[in-house]
Amino acid sequence: MTDYKDLNIGVLALQGDFERHQHQLFALGADVTLIRLAAELRQVDGLIIPGGESTTIDKLLDRFALREPLIDFGRKKPIWGTCAGMIMLSKKIDDNLSGVTPLGLMDIDVVRNGYGRQVFSFHTDLRAELNGGMTTLKADFIRAPRITRHGDKVNTIAVYRGDPVLVVERHLMASSFHTELEEDTTLLRYFLDRSFRVEPGQAQR
């Protein structure tokens, strides 16, 4: 799929780096809805849950009555969770001292800050298996979660030092790292193409 103009992709905009995802989606020609209310989910074809602070996102989901609508949405439609978004998509958070309640949509367990706190943030190139071939992604790990367990139906697309950092399960995708801080839209295009395999001008609704 090369034409994204008929897609309307939501970006959860309660907290975090949602503006960078919006920037990349606009660069591909897609419409974007910043999601702050449950009713806005009815307008979009798919959703990105951005990085940020998972404890804050967790509290705001309840404050804005978004938790159950997000779970219902994710049972049917594509979601990509990046960094804190991966934490929120997970089934269980290990050493969950902050009491974050994940959405439980993906069969993965994670540990927050699994690659170190802010001071240990780093940039690296990752090799990822996208569309049947190997691709290099520029990845930023910022207080990134580490996957400690994944179910049999979860497919690993990229690893870092032996651990899965990019996974897919059905119509859901999660990455420990950020790619939206760069101008490279390779992973975003993979998410959209994987989710909406349709002819240009005939986007799925």
Q: Which of 21, 83, 150, 169 is catalytic?
A: 83
Give the pLDDT confidence of 62-104 residue by residue, as tens digits.
999 999 999 999 999 999 999 999 999 999 999 888 889 999 9
Mean pLDDT, the chain, integer: 91
Q: Does the annotation mark 83 as catalytic?
A: yes
pLDDT beyond 80 at 2: no
Q: Which domain holds residue 80?
A: 8-195
Among 180, 182, 183, 199, the active-site one is: 180
Q: Is 205 within the bounds of a domain?
A: no
Q: Return the CATH number at 127.
A: 3.40.50.880
**E strand or H helix at 202, and its extent?**
none
Instruction: For residue range 54-71, list pLDDT tens digits in order.
Output: 999 999 999 999 999 999
33, 44 contact by CB (below 8 A): yes
**Residues 14, 18, 23, 28, Cα dihedral to 10°:** -100
* Domain count of the fold of the chain: 1
Cite the beta strand spans of the chain per DSSP E.
8-12, 31-35, 46-49, 79-82, 92-94, 108-111, 122-130, 133-141, 146-150, 155-160, 163-169, 172-175
Catalytic residue, chosen from 19, 40, 178, 183, is 178
Please indicate, yes or no, if residue 135 is contained in any of the structural domains: yes
178 is catalytic: yes
In this structure, is residue 140 part of a structural domain? Answer: yes
Is 204 domain-assigned? Answer: no
Pairing of strands 146-150, 133-141: unpaired
Does residue 68 have an active-site annotation? no
* Structure tokens that stand for 26 in this block: 């606009």
β-pair type (163-169, 155-160) = antiparallel
Q: What is the pTM of this model?
A: 0.91
Q: Would you tell me the crossing angle of helices 18-27 and 186-195 to the nearest 10 degrees?
A: 70
For every residue of 140-163, DSSP letters joined together read: EESS--EEEEE-TTPEEEEEETTE
